Amino acid sequence: MNQLVQRGLLISDFNLENLSAYLANNREPPLFRCEVAPYGQVTQTLLDSTLPCWNPPPDFTLVWTRPEAVLAGFREALNGDTVEEANLEREVDNYAETIARAGKLSKTIFVPTWNVPTMHLGHGLLDLAPGLGVSRLLMQANLRLLRSLSGIPNVVPLHASRWIEMVGEKAFNERLWHSGKIPFANEVFKIAAREIKAAIRGIGGGSRKLIVLDLDDTLWGGIVGEVGWQNLVLGGHDPMGEAFVEFQRGLKTLTKRGMLLAIASKNEETVALQAIDHHPEMVLRRGDFAAWRINWDDKARNIVELTKGLNLVLDSVVFIDDNQVERDRVRQALPEVLVPEWPVDARLYLRALCELDCFQQPLVTKEDRRRAEMYSQERQRTDSKAQASSVEEWLRTLQITVKVELLGASNIGRATQLLNKTNQMNLSTRRLTEQEFGEWASQPGHRSWVFSVSDRFGDSGLTGILSMAADGDNARIVDFVLSCRVMGRKVEETMLHWAVKWAQSSRLARVVADYSSTPKNAPCHAFFQGSGFDAGKDGRFTWDTVNPYALPDVIKLITPPEDAFDVVSGKPSAAEAGVPLVRD
Amino acid sequence: MMKPSKEQIAEVIYASIDGVNEMLAPDQWLEKSPQTVILKQGGGLDSLGFVNFVSLVEEKYFDRFGQRIILAQTNPPQNGRHPFQSVESLIEYLDSLSRL
């Protein structure tokens, strides 16, 4: 993640200067500079796109309101009046519509959920009564707001109620409210600032992707090499054993959101794997781990190898170990790796995991849910590679199929996630919101395709993006993005084949790719250097479209219907250009 | 209830300064010293910073000594000095309150 200062706009009916200060003074990346819109003018600010605060568009906007300030019905309920729930829902819809309209003015809009002070006269037996209960109406309003905002890609609700709960009884501060129109204690704003930062990191692809775990006294209690797997503290009627099981469940949940788990443990591999395979209370089994290094080597070295083997980079790694010496060693050797302090008491492990704010992501795709399984398949591929006599032979045995589709409603969510998360095989490292990506791809002369890869071991899912722009006589590659999971399997060449084919069909003279260097995308440069494209000055690679770019013979390419292939405006159609729809 | 010492009162004020400094740029941080000016006229806190500071002192004073104090409307002279002129004058003022 770059260190550019991002600009935030804070809109509220109460004083958000303290939050602005916490956001600005927090030195964790990304750095923020925030502007607070005149308070109490929420609707005016959201509706008036000519206001200076919208120009240039903020990197993010926070719209945080009190329900009684924006919903007349809720104000009435706080005053003890009965409220028609349908009327309240209409008010919520109108409010959501106002936010949706502002969606085009900012890259991302955060909308914290509504809360009311814990001390108000509506609590008690009537609090959940229909039409009258303040807490009931609050729940309904929040749920309606979430429903109304869902489907707007760059509007992200935030669960402010959790911030309030975390702070507890001091979350609402009457002193600050009456003196400065600040309803919440500063502890609430500190948590909000941390979560907004984490959310921006997640949206920008800066979340951590791999958790490397120790085993003894981290995933289970005891030293497996000494006590044997049958005698480990894990599950059973034991407070510590239950705590280890809960911690494993927490890790398992993260795997379903796309996080990868790996093991770096000083143990005998066979002994440790026996415990993972056979202990009846293990939640995490062998298939849940993308890779492991179980040996007596330096853990820092093992982490480097694990990361490299998974085609990841060190700043995507979190290392969890109960041993202070190991944590210090990894911190010192690998400063990019996040090594959280870890509690001595195993009953606090799950809490420590929950407090890590480095796993945020704006959506969970089917690829995320299957990631651990995909890496398990990858291990099988690697094993098969060791048995093959050459890389070519190995690739042929994989029976790779690449399916290409035009960017569309069904795939833009995953494509945007891939665009923002991919660092290594990424030509321009362009970061866009879903809305920006969709708008870019729908402009005349612009095309974006997504590539899904599968082979005999399994389906790697949507793992590639190619975006092209007709630029004079050039077909310019704007995005050339490929997940590290499928790098080196001729998918890169397949994408170039497609790029050249589209340029030929559109009667463009050449395909150009302008490489933009980042600290992480050297693999992309190396690929283009060996791609056959002419390497020019300033990182430009060129292919003359007089020459076809061969489809690798180890790839079966499934292409889209001809209207999805499409060509630039005013040029012959794909069918006219003789582009086959399916080829082997 | 034990009457707090001036040192204990100073600790509450310094903890409040820590809280306020979290919201300030480093070049605006208040020093934890008796001579530190609190009010803006002398280069101290602006109005919002002052609101935060007063709230923190009130809260931390109660947490520490179990006694509620109200500083939000304080405006009496203290030996010719405003209580919020400096950390030292605030310590004196809080000490005088605790003797009431």
Reported as a single tens digit per residue, the pLDDT across A427-466 is 999 989 888 899 999 999 999 999 999 999 888 899 999 9
Reported as type and span, the H/E element at residue A62 is strand A60-64
Residue A579 binned pLDDT confidence (cut-offs 50, 70, 90): very low
Cβ neighbours of A186 in B, within 8 Å: 19, 22-23, 52
For residue B48, the chain A residue with the least C-alpha distance is A180
Residue B42 binned pLDDT confidence (cut-offs 50, 70, 90): low
Residues 6+ apart with CB under 8 A from B8: B64, B65
Percentage of residues of chain B with pLDDT beyond 90: 56
DSSP code of A264?
Answer: E
The whole-angstrom separation of Cα A531 and Cα A527 is: 6
> For A161-179, how does the pLDDT look when each residue is reduced to its tens digit (9 = 90+)?
999 999 998 999 999 999 9
- Tell me the mean pLDDT in the region A26-51: 91
> Closest partner residue to A173 among B22, B25, B55, by Cβ?
B55
| β-pair type (A317-320, A555-558) | unpaired
Reported as type and span, the H/E element at residue B18 is helix B6-21
What is the structure's pLDDT at A569? 43
Best probe of the A interface among B17, B23, B50, B59, by most A CBs < 10 A, is B23
> For A539-565, how does the pLDDT look when each residue is reduced to its tens digit (9 = 90+)?
999 999 999 999 999 999 998 776 555
> Closest partner residue to B23 among A21, A178, A179, by Cβ?
A21
Please spell the DSSP secondary structure of A454-470, one letter per residue.
EETTEEEEEEEEEEEEE
Residues forming a β-bridge with A509: none
What is the structure's pLDDT at B76? 56
- Tell me the mean pLDDT in the region A130-151: 92
In this complex, do B25 and A25 lie within 8 Å of one another by their Cβ atoms? yes
Listed in sequence order, the DSSP H helices in A48-133 are 67-70, 72-78, 85-102
Radius of gyration of chain B, Cα coordinates, nearest whole angstrom: 13
For the cut 80, the answer to whether the pLDDT of residue A577 exceeds it is no
The whole-angstrom separation of Cα A509 and Cα A487 is: 28
The whole-angstrom separation of Cα B59 and Cα A239 is: 37
- Tell me the mean pLDDT in the region A340-352: 96
What is the structure's pLDDT at A563? 52
